[in-house]
Structure 1
Amino acid sequence: MAAWMSRRLLRSFGSLYTFSRCDSPSITCQSFHGSHDLSTLGYSGLFKGGPSVLANRWLSTSILTPDSGEGAFPTDLLSTKPMVTAERSIGLCQDLIIPVTNFHNEDKGFMVLAGDVFDVPIRKDIVHRVVLWQLAKRQQGTHSTKTISEVSGTGKKPWRQKGTGRARHGTLRGPQFRGGCVMHGPKPRSHAIKLNKKVRRLGLKIALTARAAEGKASLSPPYFPFVVYTD
């Protein structure tokens, strides 16, 4: 049994070595696996084939051929939804087609963008709330003033309670004296306000929709992010 398995393994590795050394561009993976399609083999046929069938199936790589449509647009990026024409209405959640450019501003093709992100109804109130939320979170909140217990100065009563004709005071660190404390002054705190995550995402979608409608959105090559031009 062990000898039979070893012969099968050596035979499978030999077939893999032959497959890896094949440099013919006209030969594709289908020619190697046409007789070992797992969809047509049952469990008995799968085990009868031994490890060579599984090894050839799992460790193989596809080879591009001239008729493989290398220059065509990727089919997984196309959409079945109705495309948007030049004159369109905003907010219908229709897919958009935008140009793909490189750093030299050369057109490299087009790409389909999801309509539920780049073609949502414009709502200024949502954008206003998101902008207020961003500006509030941007504040550092490090402002601080000293209270009567933090300001420097003596704690002795400046003059006696009665008999001087002056107002009654028990300390010189009060807010009415020069160099005294600040009453009800600001303290370090967070200015952030709460905004639901769905509202924040909707605000971003509305902003992308507005820029795409103005023609100020383009896409660099796939390994670069989406570019939105600002004023």
Structure 2
Amino acid sequence: MLELRNINCGYDNIDVIKNISFKVKRGNMISIVGPNGCGKSTLLKAIAKLMKYKGDILLDSNNINKLSRKDISKKIALMTQTNDVYFSYTVYETISLGRYAYLKGPLSSLRKEDKDIINKAIETVELTDLKDKAINELSGGQLQRVFLARAFTQDPEVILLDEPTNHLDLKHQIDILNNLCDWAKNNNKIVICVLHDLNLANIFSNKVIMLKRGQIIGDGSPKSVFMEDKLKHVYDINIRKFMIEALEKWK
């Protein structure tokens, strides 16, 4: 289980996240939703221990503040919205970086086990035909799948994803979220996604955390969180009415 207890964090001594507490059971995928600027990305960075915070974050009852950076990289993978390309590595080389924390030294070679994990991740995100291509020649959607495969290759206990469906067409959005759900369920792991698309959050999430101004407004099943009054309070729009009207146009 991943558990957050009274987490506060932010920038320049101003808290963006305020007194956040929730639990995620293994085998589940949860979505964090809310309007721009409500603290979704900041919360992911805190869980990945990429920024200072007050409170406690525990993974299987172990406080992550007591873990080394290398141990955290084995347990928690983070895929952010911005993954800059600085070198023209191939798809295979980029994905293989997910195994770095498991090497015995900087000059160590990949073992057969490492290569098997890398190849499985490449196959999962449907990049086998592109594995020898330089990543600076890829489209935004292809690059997004490369970084997701790198997260899979880390074989962490928790994958954190900030808008993982960005740049992806509808087919690959569905495929990626199905893969994440299956990965969590079949391997008894945890997936936490920041999503703007409430339809995707509703379909694929076991649980939803809805934020407004750094505080939790809803925590529970999609059905219990996506209530008309809560959605209007958070987004200042009648989202349910809009969704129904949009659906009517497809009939």
Q: TM-score, normalised by structure 1?
A: 0.18
Comparing both structures, which one devotes a greater share of its residues to strand?
2
Comparing both structures, which one devotes a greater share of its residues to helix?
2
Q: Which has the higher contact order (CA 8 A, sep 6+)?
A: 2
Q: TM-score, normalised by structure 2?
A: 0.17
